[in-house]
Amino acid sequence: MDRSIPAIITALFLLGVLVLMWRSWHKRSQRDRTLTAGYPRPEGGAAADVLATAEAYYVATTPRDAPLERLAIPGLGFRARAALTVTAQGITLDLDGNAPLYVPGAAIDQVGAAQLAIDRVVETDGLVRLSWRLNTPGTDRRDVDSFFRIIDPNDRARLIDSIRTITAPAHQDESEA
């Protein structure tokens, strides 16, 4: 009897924590259910158009410049192994367990390095941050950052350079041309 009361209290505490975790994820999923990941894939994308590929670990997608707030977008809500394919038209994110997502170059704002996202902290510039706009209904396009951990370090620079060649230039003047 002496050990049963602490065991019951501990079990109730753990159950409470699990209920709170489920409730938080459920609310986040409800909040983000209207967000759409990916765009329609263009017709006639040939394998010859591939600029770079890389195997990576998908870490998370967050609101722009808020790397500690995960978005629960269908297809991008959970960590997964990913294959990234950059073509002249855009980038395909093929996350294990999900349908491939296409992001056109016009929707990509920038690509760069990051050190942290959600609960992942790595060495300096250990993550690749892809800043892009979701394909949401209407004119309200939500800006997000997706984070990837590239498996082969040799693929990292080639991938970033390839994505930079297809991104829409934000403000380019004659000195940058």
Is 17 in the same domain as 89? no
Q: Specify the number of domains making up the chain.
A: 2
Does residue 42 sit within a domain? no
Could you tell me which of 29, 118, 24 has the C-alpha nearest to residue 69? 118
- Which residues lie below 8 Å from residue 106, measured CB to CB, with a gap of 6+? 90, 168
Is 18 in the same domain as 62? no
Q: With contact defined as beta carbons under 8 Å apart, do 86 and 167 qualify? A: no
Domain coverage including residue 3? 1-32
Is 22 in the same domain as 88? no
Does residue 173 sit within a domain? no
Query: Residue 171: its pLDDT value, please?
Result: 45
Cα separation, 104 vs 156, whole angstroms:
20
Does residue 38 sit within a domain? no
Per DSSP, helices labelled H in the chain are: 4-32, 153-166
Query: Residue 176: its pLDDT value, please?
Result: 47
Which CATH number do you get for residue 106? Answer: 2.30.29.30
Is 24 in the same domain as 54? no
Going residue by residue through the chain (177 aa), what tens digit of pLDDT does each one get? 688 899 999 999 999 999 999 998 888 777 777 787 888 887 765 555 889 999 999 999 989 888 888 888 888 888 899 999 999 899 999 999 888 999 999 899 999 988 888 777 788 778 999 999 988 766 567 899 999 999 998 899 999 999 999 886 654 444 444
Beta strands in the chain (DSSP E): 50-63, 80-87, 90-95, 101-104, 108-114, 116-117, 120-121, 127-133, 143-150
